[in-house]
Amino acid sequence: MLRYDTIPTAFQRNALQTLALEQATADSNTFAMLPWRQLFQDTLLTALIDTALQRNFDLQIALQRIERAQAATRFTQGELFPKPQLAAGASLRKFGLYTMDGAGNIVTEILPGKIVPIDLPDVNVSMQMSWEIDIWGKLRQKNQAAWAEYGASIEAARFVVTALVAQVATIYYELIELDNELDIIRRTLQKQREALRTIELQKEAGRVNELAVQQFEAQVLNLQAQEKEIRQQTVLRENALNMLLGRFPQPIQRRTTLLVQPIPSYSVIGTPIQMLSNRPDVREAEQLVRAAHFDLRAAQAAFFPTLTLSAGIGFQAFDPQLLWLFPASLAYNIIGGLAAPILNWQALQAQLQTAQASQMQALQHYRKTVVQAYAEVVNELTILQALDTMNTLKTQETAVLKESVDIAAELYKSAKATYLEVLIAQTQWLSAQLQLVSIQKRQCIAFVNLYRALGGGWR
């Protein structure tokens, strides 16, 4: 069985001049050329990715597609050569008396003094061979198409690897975000419970009314509900990650903090040609264009006559004891034929039109893939840049709101602020902390998505 790390890294590609993506050679220093083991410094994450690449179901299906495409290349290549086969047979025939064969046999000696028997046995052992001589290149075009399909299957598997690496990293970062959110909720809940006890004591002392107690109690209940929701989401995301890893649900080991990567520079990202030529889906679409092109040429060649040679040599006798007498029992034949399609011209025309439509379809799919790939890169860069600014602003906002919570608590103790102002300050600080963690998670995911959009992850 193929493994992801045994996928051929070099495939002979006679690229068509479709959009000229193959004219550029990718720079080894580009961001997408970096192997995923070097990109992710978290050993827990790399262990999960490695497990997914060994056990993921979709990847195993893609690897089997490579096996099937490789077998198709061997089949089409075998069609170019003569097809020998060993044949052996035995039969019994009786000719009618009033036929040319029957009338001749009753007066003909098959051996000296022995007339041809009425029931005539026939035993033969021979080597037969047939060969369609590929005058017009029809079989060669089919073989080239099979090789292009093989190349497409390799790129499709690489695309699955790229997507799988990104999916594992994305869910991993989502789990870390949920852990951080849960930690924030728990710390806030602890403080809110302490505040609730304080408010209850103040109510007993007559400083506040029941409304204040209910407001703080409602805040505690809300935080408890959020804690349950985060726990539920954590289990669901762990199960989703375990599915990618090809195993049953179990806890996922992970780090406690998010490691936000810096935005790659344009020089590291590479030129547009480098971006697109590295993406497996673009390379797959190119190979499919090549396959459709060769299928079209094979359909055109089907209109021309077919030259077929067949031959056989062996031993034949009516008695097995006489089968191996040489040269008496030696038998051979050779036939050459040239056949031109006449009645099935309409079917061949339909086949040609189908091949033409398939070629145009493959070409349009190729162009769409190129445009979509470039748009993904631009989108992820825009998202990363916006999130970088948002992270800076939200960090500042969180620091300010934390200070406001401390100030509100002090003012409340000196009766210079109401309990509502304290609640509002705490709620805003909690929201800002959760938003900051979410932004950092989105930064990590956008970084991974940019890596995927550039075609990174399959090396």
Residue 15 in this model has a pLDDT that exceeds 70: no
DSSP 179: H
Residue numbers of the domain that contains 332: 82-133+306-339
State how far the Cα of 426 lies from the Cα of 406, in Å rounded to an integer. Answer: 9
Per the domain annotation, does 20 fall within a domain? yes
Residue range 17-46: average pLDDT?
65
In a domain, 458, yes or no: no
Number of structural domains (the chain) is 2
Report the CATH number that the domain containing residue 100 is assigned in CATH.
2.20.200.10
Per-residue pLDDT tens over the stretch 215-234: 888 888 988 999 999 999 99
Let me know: does 387 contact 262? Beta carbons within 8 Å: no
Rounded distance, CA 457 to CA 459, Å?
6
Residue 236 CB partners (closer than 8 Å, separation 6+): none
Could you give the percent of the chain with pLDDT greater than 90? 20
**DSSP assignments along 12-73, one per residue:** -----SSS-GGGSPPPTTSGGGS-HHHH---HHHHHHHHHHHHH-HHHHHHHHHHHHHHHHH
**Continuous H helices in 56-137:** 57-78, 100-105
Look at residue 230 in the predicted model and tell me its pLDDT: 92
pLDDT, position 20: 38
pLDDT of residue 3: 57
The closest of 241, 260, 251 to 169, measured between CA atoms, is 241
Closest CA to 32 of 459, 383, 451: 451
pLDDT value at 10 more than 70: no
Domain assignment present for 358: yes
Say if residue 22's pLDDT is above 60. no
pLDDT digits (tens, 9 = 90+) for 395-422: 999 999 888 888 887 887 777 777 778 7
Which range among 15-19, 194-198, 224-228, 263-267 shows the weakest confidence by mean pLDDT?
A: 15-19
Residue 2: band (very low, low, confident or very high) from pLDDT cuts 50, 70, 90: low
Supply the CATH number for residue 379's domain: 1.20.1600.10
If asked whether residues 201 and 233 sit together in one domain, one would say yes
Q: What is the pLDDT of residue 364?
A: 93
Assess whether pLDDT exceeds 80 at residue 206. no
For residue 266, pLDDT over 60 is answered with: no
- Residue-wise pLDDT for 333-369, tens only, equals 898 888 777 767 888 888 889 889 989 999 999 999 8
For residue 459, is it within any domain? no
Residues 150-190 pLDDT 10s: 888 888 888 889 899 999 999 999 999 999 999 989 988 88
Intra-chain end-to-end CA distance of the chain, in Å: 19
| 39 in a structural domain | yes
- Distance (Å, whole) CA 325 – CA 225: 96
Which of 194-198, 215-219, 264-268 is the least confident region? 264-268
Does 150 fall in a domain?
yes
> What integer best gives the mean pLDDT of the chain?
83
pLDDT given at position 414: 76
C-alpha 128/C-alpha 351 separation (Å) is 32
